[in-house]
């Protein structure tokens, strides 16, 4: 059963890279980290990653990831505290990811 889950996850990742636009991939990455690792007492993700690491997960370059996340900060959808990310509107991120598939 574990192998099947890995295969489904890999298939989803390949599909997402092929079909999602960059904003959707960034939103999907941030939402996935939020769901997978949970949040601390202040609402920040329980995982510390650099923006470069997150850009790699999203299949984009740092500069593009930085530009898109700055837009999300301006829209008050996410907030940064150093390397920690807080999702202020996680449902909005999920909507961005779904709109691009």
> pLDDT tens digit string along 24-73?
999 999 999 999 999 999 999 999 999 999 999 898 999 999 999 999 99
pLDDT(100) > 60? no
Look at residue 55 in the predicted model and tell me its pLDDT.
Answer: 95
CATH for 2-99 is 1.10.10.10
Task: Give bridge partners of residue 85 from the DSSP assignment.
Answer: 80
Greater confidence (36 vs 5) lies with 36
Domain ranges of the chain: 2-99
Is 101 in contact with 19 (CB distance < 8 Å)?
yes
CB atoms within 10 A of CB 54: 21
CA distance 75 to 36: 24
pTM over 0.85: no
């Amino acid at each position: 059963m574990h192998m099947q889950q890995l295969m489904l996850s890999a298939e989803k990742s390949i599909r997402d890279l092929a079909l999602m636009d960059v904003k959707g991939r960034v939103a999907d990455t941030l939402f996935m980290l939020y769901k997978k690792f949970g949040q601390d007492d202040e609402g920040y993700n329980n995982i510390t990653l650099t923006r470069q690491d997150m850009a790699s997960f999203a299949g984009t370059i740092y500069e593009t990831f930085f530009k898109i996340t700055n837009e999300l900060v301006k829209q008050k959808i996410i907030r940064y505290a150093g390397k920690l990310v807080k999702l202020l509107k996680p449902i909005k991120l999920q909507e961005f990811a779904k709109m691009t598939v």
